[in-house]
Amino acid sequence: MPYRIVLAPGDGIGPEVTAAAQRVIAATGIEIEWSERQIGAGAFETLGSPLPAETLEAIRAADATLKGPTATASGGGYRSVNVELRQKLQLYANYRPARSMPGIVSRYDNVDLIVVRENTEGLYSGLEHTVVPGVVESLRVITQVASERIARFAFDTARRQGRGRVTCVHKANILKLSDGLFLDTCRQVSEEFKDIAFDDCIVDAAAMKLVLDPKNFDVLVMENLFGDILSDLASGLVGGLGVTPSANIGAHGSVFEAVHGTAPDIAGKGLANPTAIILSGVLMLRYLGEKQAADRIEEAVRGVIGAAETVTGDLGGSAGTDEYTDAVIAAMTNN
């Protein structure tokens, strides 16, 4: 039977890059039944909601979802689509690998680390209110259940990939109760994984060490806000959000997405770089158990970018979206 995949193109360049990813995935020969659903600012303007009920239900029922970038509607009017999606479907684990890419010049070579971010609580719980005019209070929620769940995901990931160490990133020296609970829970879970080393690092020190030498780390696990910040920092070490994928895994679904912006200035011009969503598709295929197909795509992407002959403008080339996608498909055929 074909896999049932929701395609949520999103806004701006989203339709162009997700279409490119569809073409690349189709070239593997894997049978997929795609179901396109609206999400983001466009959905808000046409359907009155950035996350329509039918989109949410389709994602819940699908084997996986491939999602493009989303924008905030003009004038705002709603909370982050990504936050709402993760909370409503309990997509508790954000998985963000950062791996050096041939052909992309960066400060460091051979970076290969993973940021695991708790996706459903922390300051992103959205619990805030005005105490008195001029004073706003935001609640940072940390629970043992969510902390244990994300710690276990990090250790399971490390074991499955043959990695040697998990680092808990925290601020328990200041936030003694909330981050103290997170750190203590990670330590407890680490006792079940004696084959994997465990240590911890205060978040500001972790940021400094990542910039000084990312080889200090292997798998990092942390709460929501710290994960939001450090996952982007890690992406910056290997070329930026345009070349790094993202996965959101939970009890009631999975969403694989490009986390870069919607780039409205080039939307519809055929200039967008689809690498991030293609590599997110790679993560999706691995999640579905299609490792061989995933490896073919990733090898092709790395080969095309490494050759630097048919790459988009942001990567130093002059190729358009379709031309770059054609090159990736041709490289898959030749592999």
CATH number at residue 21: 3.40.718.10
Q: Which of 78, 109, 176, 204 is the catalytic position?
A: 204
Q: Which two tokens stand for residue 217?
A: 């780390």
Q: Which of 3, 124, 179, 200 is the catalytic position?
A: 124
* Amino acid symbol at 46: T
Same domain, 290 and 223: no
Same domain, 139 and 252: no
Q: In the annotation, is 228 catalytic? A: yes
**What percentage of the chain has pLDDT greater than the value 70?**
98
User: Does residue 270 belong to any structural domain of this protein?
Assistant: yes
pLDDT band at residue 128 under the 50/70/90 scheme: confident
Return all residues near 277 (Cβ < 8 A) that are at least 6 apart. Answer: 17, 18, 20, 21, 66, 68, 245, 257, 258
Same domain, 292 and 308: yes
Q: What pLDDT is attached to residue 74? A: 52
User: Does residue 96 belong to any structural domain of this protein?
Assistant: no
DSSP 313: G
User: Does residue 7 belong to any structural domain of this protein?
Assistant: yes
Same domain, 115 and 230: yes
Q: In the annotation, is 92 catalytic? A: no
Same domain, 314 and 222: no
Same domain, 267 and 335: yes
Same domain, 80 and 165: no
Helix ranges, 126-173 (H) = 144-160
From 209, 208, 243, 207, select the one nearest 227 (Cα to Cα). 207
Q: Which of 11, 179, 200, 228 is the catalytic position?
A: 228
Q: In the annotation, is 194 catalytic? A: no
Q: Which of 67, 95, 171, 324 is the catalytic position?
A: 171
pLDDT band at residue 247 under the 50/70/90 scheme: very high
| Residue 125 pLDDT greater than 90, yes or no | no
User: Does residue 41 belong to any structural domain of this protein?
Assistant: yes
Q: Give the number of domains in the chain.
A: 2
| Residue 314 pLDDT greater than 70, yes or no | yes
Same domain, 175 and 262: no
Same domain, 49 and 125: no
Lowest mean per-residue pLDDT among 70-84, 94-108, 306-320: 70-84
| Residue 9 pLDDT greater than 90, yes or no | yes
The residue that leads in pLDDT, 333 or 73, is 333
CA distances from 168 to 146, 231, 232, 298 (A): 14, 14, 17, 29
**What percentage of the chain has pLDDT greater than the value 90?**
87
Same domain, 53 and 26: yes
Q: What pLDDT is attached to residue 71? A: 87
| Residue 327 pLDDT greater than 70, yes or no | yes
Q: In the annotation, is 324 catalytic? A: no
User: Does residue 97 belong to any structural domain of this protein?
Assistant: no
CA distances from 327 to 173, 211, 238, 312, 321 (A): 50, 33, 22, 11, 10
Q: What pLDDT is attached to residue 127? A: 87
pLDDT by residue (tens digit) across 48-93?
A: 899 999 999 999 999 999 999 998 755 555 668 888 899 899 999 9
User: Does residue 220 belong to any structural domain of this protein?
Assistant: yes
Same domain, 233 and 254: no
| Residue 108 pLDDT greater than 90, yes or no | yes
| Residue 100 pLDDT greater than 70, yes or no | yes
Same domain, 67 and 139: no
DSSP 48: S
Structural domain range at position 168 = 107-237
pTM across the whole model? 0.94
How far apart CA 88 and CA 158 sit, in angstroms, is: 27
